[in-house]
Amino acid sequence: MKKYSSQKAAINFIKNNTVPILFFIICLGGVIASKLSIPYILNEIVNRLDRNLFLVLSLIIPVVAGMGLNFALVIGAMAGQIGLITIKVLNIGGITGLFLAALISIPFALLFGYGTGKILNRTKGKEMITSLILGFFAMGLYQLVFLLFVGTIIPIKNPEIVLPGGVGLKNAIDLTIIQYALDDLLSINVMGIKIPIFSLFIIGLLCLFTKFILKTKIGQDFRALGQDMHVAEVAGIDVDRTRLMAITISTLLAAWGQIIFLQNIGTLQTYSSHEQVGMFAVAAILVGGATVTRATIGNAILGTILFHTLFIVSPNAGKNLFGDPQIGEFFRSFVAYGVIALSLVLHAMQKNFDANANVESME
Amino acid sequence: MKNLWKKLIDKYGYPKVFITILLAILLLIAVFQKQSIYGLLKDSLVRIGMNSVLVLAMVPSIVSGTGLNFALSIGIICGLLAGCITIEMNMVGLKGFLIAVLISIPFSVVAGYLYSILLNRVKGDEMTVGTYMGFSVVSLMCIGWLLLPFKNPEMVWAIGGKGLRTTITLANKYDKVLDRLIKLPNIDLPIGTLLFFALCSLLMWLFLRSKTGIAMMAAGSNPRFAQASGINVDLQRTIGTILSMVLGGIGILVYAQSYGFYQLYIGPLMMPFAAISAILIGGATAKKASISNVIAGVVLFQALLTISLPVINRMMPEGNLSEVVRIIVSNGVILYALTKVGGND
């Protein structure tokens, strides 16, 4: 009897965690095929967790609020980059510069988040495609501002970051002044693996914050919305305002996440650093077992580890298996897009199934 | 005046009116800058012909009720595959082009059929799912282009001798074969391509008036009513998707013969978005589209892109402003259309 129930539990476990298990197997295969040393891989994983986890965590609240995966994370990332460009102009480095950048990004992030929320409130049920296109659209506006307005309307003269013509920012901006400002504040070395304690501490704080906010009144409203928007409305929750809050928080977190990401990288690709932010974060959390309607901190952590392990090993694995590192690179972008497509399909099928079941029960 | 404005917006919709005004302003500036207006218009015509069939591919998908076809890249890949096969077989000239079209059709039909099975299970979410299905297929085919057993040295990388190149030139194959099909003395306009587009449009127009076409439109505009009156909605959506993919495949071949290159790998990634913006500018919505939307849209959008490049570059030599204009206009129009579709409720 006991054996039977434990077997059932095991089957349930596999059923509920198909995606992470599948990815674990792929990653394991990749690690073996890549022939990279384990300490190297561990080092890279810690590094990439430090870089990306904050961004991935910023996806959770909109999912809980029933708004799906926030592809408009890109817009938050832009707010963060505005903060970084400002401190570069002011030439304030170190941890002071970093916190100043985070501070400067706040009003922009709030404004952008509010705008995003307004648009998403007009496209209920189509949030994901809208946030994706909105991200593309915002990239156009961002280019307009930093390619054209800088030097003409916005008086930035610093030749280190402005193009030789005096108009527009350079493609790459060196952020050495704040590189590792957060990571090196407190980091230890365990058996050759560098662990940035302070950055991980900040990420831990965000986990606590997310947990905390979901327990407060507003968090319960988020969950009520995620369950059923109409019921929530009947229950007296201001739907539009609550959704606005959810997306604004997400945007602000994305801004800070991008700042943490770039302080680790050390170079700002002015026009492309933000491009893939939304897609990679979304893919990572989905790999961790999240769905369009359910995401947890655990999903985010596990997903970031698995997804980025794949990133680390796939070029070498591709080279060793097919004699071409490019195949590994294409494979990982296929995985990123594919896992998003797959979970969108599963979500839509579930929705259709439920709708049909409803119609039938009414008849 | 205010009344006239309101009437215009009601009749044509914001995107069409705004883009027309923008285009008129650009043309005016072009005149002041003493640009060659004939040259600008000729270049516009070339690009209109180039993109026309791809935009037309949106029509069956919209009228059959599956919305804007964000996964058109799947059809585009079928066309590219067919094109590569003709080059492998060393086919040149008009014959090569037509054979490429013929080969592409079965690929597109199969791909469209498979994709429609998926679409019929995700009703209401076709656009979101379609976008990422398109992205996934493009990135999967990136591996495909590297591994497919093509041998022609004109197509594969010189070093290693394996894997197709990112761009494959059509010079000496069927470069501009439609553009230059019909030659008038002293006038170098892409008449052939435009005629080919006219032919495709005519066929589409006739199809939409056939029995199947009318059933398809009924299925698209009111699926429940159509189902009740005995139309197989899923079948109509399947036909619409297949037709859209077939036109996507043909569309890329028309595009490539005019452009002169096949762009493989991530080339097709964002192509559906350009076609979508064009038809939306032409006044289509995610639920309604006609041949006139296609013509108006492709003319306005491509003329805008063509004319903005030299005009803006003359004003602002630095930066890549015309590219920025393209991104803002094309995504802004899609965004506007999405807010018009409204929510599920």
Report which of A306, A250, A237 is spatially closest to residue A64, judged by C-alpha positions: A250
Residue B315 lies in a domain: yes
Residue B187's DSSP bridge partners are B184
Q: Does the distance separating the beta carbons of A326 and B122 come in below 8 Å?
A: no
Which residues of chain B have a CB within 8 Å of the CB of A118?
none
Six-digit token pair at A163?
């193009």
Q: Tell me the C-alpha to C-alpha distance, in Å, between residue A241 and each of A222, B2, B83.
A: 11, 34, 52
Residue type (1 letter), B165: R
Q: How far apart are CA B276 and CA B255, in angstroms?
A: 16
Q: How far apart are CA B33 and CA B38, in angstroms?
A: 14
Report which of B128, B133, B139 is spatially closest to residue B68, judged by C-alpha positions: B128
What is the greatest pairwise CA distance in chain B?
Answer: 67
B126–chain A nearest CA distance, Å? 9
Q: How far apart are CA B220 and CA B58, in angstroms?
A: 13
Residue B162 lies in a domain: yes
Q: Does the distance separating the beta carbons of A351 and B127 come in below 8 Å?
A: no
Q: Does B25 touch chain A (CB under 8 A)?
A: no
Q: Does B136 touch chain A (CB under 8 A)?
A: yes
Report which of B306, B273, B309 is spatially closest to residue A137, judged by C-alpha positions: B273
Among the partner-chain residues B70, B125, B142, the one whose CB lies closest to the CB of A348 is B125
State how many domains chain B has: 1
What is the greatest pairwise CA distance in chain A?
Answer: 79
Q: How far apart are CA A163 and CA A151, in angstroms?
A: 9
Give the structural domain span for B93. 36-339
Q: Phi first, then psi: what are they for A270, rounded to 5°?
A: -50, -45
Pairing label, strands B261-263, A172-174: unpaired
Q: How far apart are CA B95 and CA B283, in angstroms?
A: 36
Residue B237 lies in a domain: yes
pLDDT tens string, chain A, 363 residues long: the values are 555 677 788 887 777 777 888 888 888 988 888 888 888 899 899 989 989 999 999 999 999 998 889 999 999 999 999 999 999 888 888 889 999 999 999 999 999 999 999 999 988 888 888 999 999 999 999 988 888 888 788 888 888 888 887 788 888 888 888 888 787 778 777 777 788 888 889 999 999 999 999 899 988 899 888 888 888 888 888 889 999 999 999 999 999 999 999 998 888 888 888 888 888 899 999 988 888 888 999 999 999 999 999 888 888 888 888 877 788 888 888 888 888 888 888 888 888 887 777 766 665
Among the partner-chain residues B131, B342, B345, the one whose CB lies closest to the CB of A132 is B131
Q: Does the distance separating the beta carbons of B343 and A125 come in below 8 Å?
A: yes
Q: Does the distance separating the beta carbons of A333 and B142 come in below 8 Å?
A: yes
Specify the CATH number for the domain of residue B294: 1.10.3470
Q: Does the distance separating the beta carbons of A337 and B139 come in below 8 Å?
A: yes
Q: Which residues lie closer than 8 Å to A229 by C-beta, 6 or more apart?
A: A66, A124, A239
Which residues of chain B have a CB within 8 Å of the CB of A131?
none
Q: Does the distance separating the beta carbons of A123 and B339 come in below 8 Å?
A: yes
Residue B24 lies in a domain: no
Q: How far apart are CA A7 and CA A62, in angstroms?
A: 35
Q: Does the distance separating the beta carbons of A334 and B324 come in below 8 Å?
A: no
Q: Does the distance separating the beta carbons of B124 and A125 come in below 8 Å?
A: yes
Q: Which residue has the higher pLDDT, B329 or B184?
A: B329
Q: How far apart are CA B76 and CA A11, in angstroms?
A: 42
Report helix, strand and coil shares of chain B as percent, to nearest 5: 70, 5, 25
Q: How far apart are CA B39 and CA B168, in angstroms?
A: 27
Report which of A109, A64, A108, A107 is spatially closest to residue A243, judged by C-alpha positions: A64
* Range from A267-271, B11-15, B78-82 carrying the lowest mean pLDDT: B11-15
Q: Does B125 touch chain A (CB under 8 A)?
A: yes
- A183, A198 in Cβ contact below 8 A? yes
Residue A195's DSSP bridge partners are A188
Q: How far apart are CA B169 and CA B157, in angstroms?
A: 13
Predicted local distance difference test score (pLDDT) of residue A257: 93
Confidence of residue B177 (pLDDT cuts 50, 70, 90): confident
Q: Does B149 touch chain A (CB under 8 A)?
A: no
Q: How far apart are CA B259 and CA B176, in angstroms?
A: 7
Between CA B100 and CA B110, with CA B104 as vertex, the angle to 5 degrees is 165
Confidence of residue B345 (pLDDT cuts 50, 70, 90): very low
Report which of B30, B28, B52 is spatially closest to residue B40, judged by C-alpha positions: B30
Q: How far apart are CA A67 and CA A72, in angstroms?
A: 12
User: Which stretch of DSSP H or E encloses residue A189?
Assistant: strand A187-190
Q: Does the distance separating the beta carbons of A122 and B339 come in below 8 Å?
A: yes
Q: How far apart are CA A12 and CA B282, in angstroms?
A: 52
Predicted local distance difference test score (pLDDT) of residue B138: 93
Predicted local distance difference test score (pLDDT) of residue A325: 78
What is the value of ipTM here, to two decimals?
0.86
Q: For chains A and B, count residue pairs whose Cβ atoms are closer than 8 Å.
A: 143
Q: pTM of the entire structure? A: 0.88
Residue B7 lies in a domain: no
Report which of B76, B53, B63, B72 is spatially closest to residue B201, judged by C-alpha positions: B53
Residue B163 lies in a domain: yes
User: Does position B130 have pLDDT exceeding 70, yes or no?
Assistant: yes
Residue B31 lies in a domain: no
Residue B73 lies in a domain: yes
Q: Does B132 touch chain A (CB under 8 A)?
A: yes
Residue whose entry in the numeric block shows the structure tokens 């398109």 = B134
Tell me the average pLDDT of chain B. 87
Report which of A208, A294, A273, A236 is spatially closest to residue A76, judged by C-alpha positions: A273
| Chain A interface, best mutation among B128, B131, B321, by max A CB count within 10 A | B128
Among the partner-chain residues A130, A327, A333, the one whose CB lies closest to the CB of B338 is A130
Predicted local distance difference test score (pLDDT) of residue B277: 92
Pairing label, strands B167-169, A193-196: unpaired
